[in-house]
Structure 1
Amino acid sequence: MNSFTALLLAGLGTVFILVIGWYILQVVAYWKIFEKANEPGWKAIVPFYNTYTQYKFTWNTQAFWIVLIGGIVGGILQEATEGIPSLLGTLIMLIVAIFNIISLNKLAKAFGHGVGFTIGLFFLNPIFMLILGFSGDEYIGPQ
C-alpha cells in the first residue's frame, strides 16, 4: 500500500469516527430532550419512532403521518418522470418542508423559545438540539 492510499484511508477513518461520535452526541441530546418532555429516553435511538415521539409531544401524530406519507409520495412522484407528476411531487415536498419548519417552531415553543430559536434549529439543528437537551430549559407542553 502506498503512502497516498494510507493517508486516504486514515482520513476516511477519522471522518467516520467523527461522524459516529457526532451521531452519538445527537442521540444523547435527543434523549435529554425526551426525558424533559416526560418521554422515555430510549425512544431517541429508534429512527422514525424518535420523530414520531417528537411530533407527539410538540404537535400531534397526524402531522407526523402527513410528513411521512407526503415525503414518500412526493419523492416517488419527483423521480417518476417530467411533467405534471414531477411538479406535483415537488409541490408535495415543499409542503412537507413547511410542515417540518412548523414542527421545529413547535419544538422551540414547547421549551419556551421563540422564532429566533426556531431559526437556529433550522440552520444549525445539531447545535441547537444540544442546547435544548443540555440547557436548563423546561418542557412547558405543546403551544
Structure 2
Amino acid sequence: MDWNLISDQVASTTSMWLSLALYVLYAITMWKVFVKAGYAGILALIPIVNVIFLVKIAGMSGWFSLLYLIPIVNIVFAIVVAVKEGANFGKGAVFSFFLLWMFPFIGHLIVGFGSATYRKV
C-alpha cells in the first residue's frame, strides 16, 4: 500500500473542503454587506458583478472596477476601495486597511454581522 498516495489524497480532500467552507463563509458575509448597503444579496455570489458592486458600495462608479485588471494599479485601487468602503460603514482607515483589504474574511464578517450601518460619505 502506498502511504504517500493516501496522505496526498487526504490532504487534497481536506484542502478542498476547507476552501469550500471558507468560500461559503465569505459569500454569507458579503451577502450581509451587500444587503446593508442596499443592494440585493445575490449579487455577492456572482463573480465580477460582486466586484463592480463592491466598488459602488465604496462610493465610486462601477466602471472603476476595470482598474483591477491593471497590474500594480489593482493593489493600490484595492486599498482605496477598502478604505472608502470602511468609511461608508463608519470604520477608520486602520480597520479598513487591515481587516477589509488584508484580511477581508474577518473585516466583512465584522461589518456584515456587526452594528455598522451604511451611509454613503
> TM-score scaled by structure 1?
0.77
User: Which residue does 1:36 correspond to in 2?
Assistant: 36
Cα distance in 2 for partners of 1:97, 1:50 equals 17
1:64 and 2:65 are equivalent in the alignment? yes
User: Which residue does 1:119 correspond to in 2?
Assistant: 97
1:102 maps to which of 73, 77, 80 = 80
CA 1:4–1:96 in 2, change beyond 3 Å: closer, same or farther? closer
Percent identical among aligned pairs is 24
- The structure having more radius of gyration, on CA atoms, is 1
Cα distance in 2 for partners of 1:111, 1:57 equals 9
User: Which residue does 2:49 correspond to in 1?
Assistant: 49
TM alignment of 1:70-89, pairs within 5 A: 71=69, 74=70
Amino acid at match of 1:21: A
1:138 maps to which of 95, 110, 117 = 117
User: Which ranges of structure 1 fall in alignment gaps of 5 or more residues?
Assistant: 75-92
RMSD after superposition? 1.4
- The alignment partner of 2:105 has SS state of helix
C-alpha contact (below 8 Å) 2:52/2:63 kept by paired residues: no
User: Which residue does 1:78 correspond to in 2?
Assistant: none
Question: Which stretches of structure 1, 4 residues or longer, exceed 6 Å deviation after superposition?
Answer: none
- Deviation digits for residues 34-67 of structure 1, max 9, x if unmatched? 00011000001000100101112222223223x1
C-alpha contact (below 8 Å) 2:79/2:101 kept by paired residues: yes
Shift of 1:129: 1.4
User: Which residue does 2:18 correspond to in 1?
Assistant: 18
User: Which ranges of structure 2 fall in alignment gaps of 5 or more residues?
Assistant: none
> TM-score scaled by structure 2?
0.90
Shift of 1:123: 2.0
Aligned length: 119
Task: Compare 28-37 and 94-103 and name the one that shifted more.
Answer: 94-103
- The alignment partner of 1:23 has SS state of helix
